[in-house]
Each structure stands twice: as C-alpha cells, then as structure tokens.
Structure 1
Amino acid sequence: MLIIDRLKNKINAIVMRRSMANGPEPASPPVPPEDIHIEDKITMLGWYYKEQGRYAQAEAIFKKAIEANPKNSRTYFILGDYYYDRQRYTEAAKVYEQVLTITPGEVEASARLGKCYQIIGRREEARMVLKKALEVNPGSHRACTMLAGWYTDAGRYKEAEAMYKKAIEIQPNDPLMYTDLELCYLRQGKYDEAEFTLKKAIEVNPRKDRLYSALAYVYEKQGKRKLAEGFFERASRLRAETYNPVTRTNYRKLADTVLSSGIRLVCVQYPVRRIGPLEKMLKGIGGIIFVDNESVFKNALKEGRYEDYFIDCFGGDSGHCTPAGNKLLAENIANVILKELQ
C-alpha cells in the first residue's frame, strides 16, 4: 500500500473514532482478497482494529495470525512492531527473538531487537545481536551501520568509524552512510574529518541536498557563518528543484482529506529547514497553520551539541529527535497553535 493510502487510512480512522462517540458501530472491515494467505487476511483485520484504536482486539488478532502460520516471520514482525509502537519493549523483544529463530541474522529484526534491548538496558546483548547480523550478512551496509551506531552511542568511536567506513565501501552512493560517519566525527570534535567526509560524499552525490545541509552544520559549529549560510541556501535550492511532483500531489490530497473532515490542519516543517518550500507545495489551500522550526533549532544548535537534540542524521541537517529535541519541537508547535487561536 502506498504511504499516502496508509496516511489517509489513519486520518479516516481518527474521523471514525470521533463519530463513534455518539454514533453507531462503524461498518464491517473490508473483505480481503481471496488470493492471499490466511495469516495475511487475519492480519488485515488486526490492522483494521488497530486503526480504530481498538488495541486489545488488534493484539488478539495479530496473535491469531501467528497461530495460523507459526513459520511466517512477517506475522511476528507485525506483532513486534505493534508492541514497539505501544512502548511495550520487553514484549516486542520476545517477538523479534522469534523472528530471528525463524530467520537467523535477519537484518531488520536484528535492528529492532537491538533497539529494544538498548531501551530496556540490555546493551551488551544488543551489541551481540547486531554483531551476529553482520556475521550472517557481511555484505550488508545496514548491518554495518547498526553496529556502528551501537559503538558510537557507547563512545567506542574507533570501532564506529571502522564500521561506517566499511558501510561506505559497500554502498558508496548512499549519502546516509557519509552523514552517519560525519556525525561520529562531530561527537569527537573532529571537524576537519567531518568536512573531508562530506566533501567526498558531494563528489559522489552532487545532487543530494542533505549533504550540503550537513556540511553547513559543520561550518556552523566551526563559526564559519558565511560558509554555513551558503551551504544551507544550496541545500534549500536543491530541495526545491528536486521535489517529486507525486510528493506535492500527495501532500495536497492529505490536506484536502483533513480539511474536508472538519479538522484544523497543522503542517510542521522539519527542524532546521526553511518553511518556504512546504508553504509553496500547499499554496492556495486555506485554513492551514504552518510551523517554522528553522530558527528555534538553529539557535539551540549554536548553544548545544547536535546529539543533544537528534539521535541520527538522516536528513543531513537534522534527524529523529531526542527527548530534548522532541520537547523543543513540541513547545514550538504549541506556541504557534496558541498564537493562532488568540
């Protein structure tokens, strides 16, 4: 299913839950196609309940899917992800362990199990799981970066650097490999090495905006403000030039779906990035509250460390937020909404 369809389903589920407060029981779930396995049909029903917020029923159905075919690792994955999303990490870990019993060393299951172990304090077991994944899949750049991430978090930077460099050898065209290594260097204050890594990455991927953003941040940390602004500007221009028309169409469809349901829409730009491109994509659609997270995060990064606010660097200039980053993000969103409502 396309991402746009999944998002529309989530929005429709929210609308459905609103109407259920005073309305009748919602319609029966859609009938699944006949040409899929029984466990997949059962899983579809589980997703139906999950999207409605009927979590106990969804969990029971996901377990039934496993009973229908205990050798299908995909059904375990779905239950594990359900537990993970509900922050039930110990239960999620047990399910991901079952996936690895069926498919030893499977990379994504190892990544998720390793993450669960780290969250619940079983850090050394997390390392062993990630190391096993690399042994089983020596040509997997994903396995390399997972183990490198563990070493980085543990402060074992030499081992982390070696793993990131191996990942780059395997997948030299993936900009994320370079930004991960750059972030490892930044944690050590190795700005020259970070700059060299990103310049090399730009030679290989001259049209990847995240690389210019990442290099801008390196210059920002060195106090080279003019260089930083220049590279932030180049990154912004590249994003504007390379936006997929499908992305714009899907964003506008989502906006129409939300607004036509009577829900006020808030559109939040990524941390550090400029709000202009997002406003341009949704130009002409009224009733949208836009949240600009550029200045609030740039100011925070000037005073603090990158890793204080982000756990990775998938966007080049930002990544998934730490608790401190989420707090800053939430406060800024709340302030914008409150200002709109005054």
Structure 2
Amino acid sequence: MLKNVTRFFTMLSLWVSAVVFASPMGAFATEAAATGAAAGGGAGHAWWFWPLILLVFCFVLGVIAVLAGVGGGVLYVPLVSGFFPFHIDFVRGAGLMVALAGALAAGPGLLKRNLASLRLALPMALIASACAVVGAMLGLYLSKLDPRYVQTALGATIMGISILLLCSKNSEYPVVTKQDAISHALGIEGIYQDQATGKEFEWKTHRTFTGLLLFVVIGIMAGMFGLGAGWANIPVLNLLMGAPLKVSVATSKFLLSITDTSAAWVYMNQGAVIPLIAIPSIIGLMLGSLVGVRLLAVAKASFIRYMVIGVLFFAGFKALDKGLGLGIMG
C-alpha cells in the first residue's frame, strides 16, 4: 500500500506541473500577467525583467526558508505581494503552487522513511482540504470586491504568524498519558525510531477533536492567503495533539500535498495560476532549498530564525499599510 501511495504522489507531482506549465489557460494568463505587471509598475521593462528578478529573489528565499525551518509559501506571499507589481490573486495562486511543489517533492521520501503518518494525516487532510476550497473561494470573492480587504487580512495574519513563531517552543517528544476516544478509534498512533539516536519512541495523540476544529481554521487560511499551512500544522500536531516533533514536521509536509492541491484547483479554474510567475518562483525556491540544505550544518539557526521573524513582521506591516492605505511605507 505504501508503494502505491508513494507512486500516486509522484505521478500527481508530474501531472500538476504539466497542467500548470503547459495549459492553454496558463499561456493566456501569462500574457495577461505581463500586461498586468506593466500596468502595476513594470512599464518600460522587457517581459522577462520581473520574472528574472523573481527567480533570483525566490532563490534567496529558498535558502532562508530552509535555514529558518519554515515553508517557502509563508515567506513568499507577503514579500512578493508587497514588493512586486503583481496582483495579489496571481501571487496567492503561485504561493500555493510553491508550497505544493515542495510538498510533492518531499512526500514520497517522507513516506518511505516512515516519518509521515498516514493515520495522522488523512483525518486532518480531509477537513483541511475541504476548508481550503472554501478559503480560496472566499479569498477570490473578497479580492473582487476590493483587493485591499485581502491585503489587510493577509497583513494581520502574517504579523500573527511572526508572533506565533517567536513564542512557540516545540517539544521533541511530548508525553501523552491517555489517548482520547477519537484518536483510538482512528488508530492515530505509531512507533517512531530516531535514526540519530537509534531509540524507538511509541507515540499516540490526544485532544484530537480540538485539533480537528483547528484544522478547519488552518484550511480556510491556507486557501484564502495561499500561504501553505506548515507554520500552523506543526504546533497543532506537536504541542496540542502530542505527536513527536519530527513526525509532526513530516506529516505537516505531507499534508500540504493534499490541502494545497484542493485550493490550487480553485485558483487554476479562475486563471490565477500563471506560468510567468509560478515557474520562476518554483525553480528559484527549489534551487535555493538545495543550497540551504548544504548551509544548514554551518549556519546559526537561532540568528536565522529571528531574522525571518523580523522579515515576516515587516512584510505583515507593509501588507497592512498597503491594505489600509496608510501610506506609511510608501
């Protein structure tokens, strides 16, 4: 069964890439994006100017994301929407594809190594993916009324995420004394072997109902803002439900391959996933992630973490400023 699941996600990754990069809708939207970028401040530049800048920007973003231990999507959407002349709908659509590409690339390996738990992921994915569709539709509706509504909500959310990252202290091996009835019925438990120490850790979860309710909110926010939801998945799975930290991280990454697929379909159907933006974003972040993995061993993680929190707070404040029309940051 595990081999079939792994093969499915590998094929899904290739299929999604082919649909996004080669569809007639994508070709049409590329031309629209080029026109929109010029109207938003890119006038006087060749069509390839902003995609090239975006490629370099996303390469740096990919390096930083790995060093800080956060998903690329949570950095991508607020920074690109704040500093690039693209409509926020296009940025959110590309943000989902960025998070989805990373999750689909990592998913099969996480399953093979028995780090991601299907029993833990599937109930959460069912709720989060359905709510992500609702969130994507809500975000596009609000954007049609006035894009400033989405910018304001995005700014408030990003500032909240920066505070959450600053205050959260993950627990590597949470202690769960009693498994709740829902977790027991769904069989959400397992044995995790830490390859670093060689020790086996038997884990189970509790407070499952509360976790399911929170994944309703997580799904809506992931679809509405195109952020990916690793920043929220991990604290819920680890701190609230009691899954080991590495299992929570791996399961969260696997969850994105399901949740973001659902929301991405809504954006693709509305023509908001554009190759002109999505291709350089995905390539840049993927290449940056490879470099980031190599630098991870020598980098000071604490400094990078606080730097990312500061960047997120700044990006959230800029989005709030842009949405409310305060004009503080130009």
If the length of structure 2 is used for normalisation, what is the TM-score? 0.23
Higher relative contact order by CA 8 Å / sep ≥ 6: 1 or 2?
2
Which structure's residues are more often helix, by fraction? 2
Which protein shows a greater Rg? 1
- TM-score normalised per structure 1: 0.23
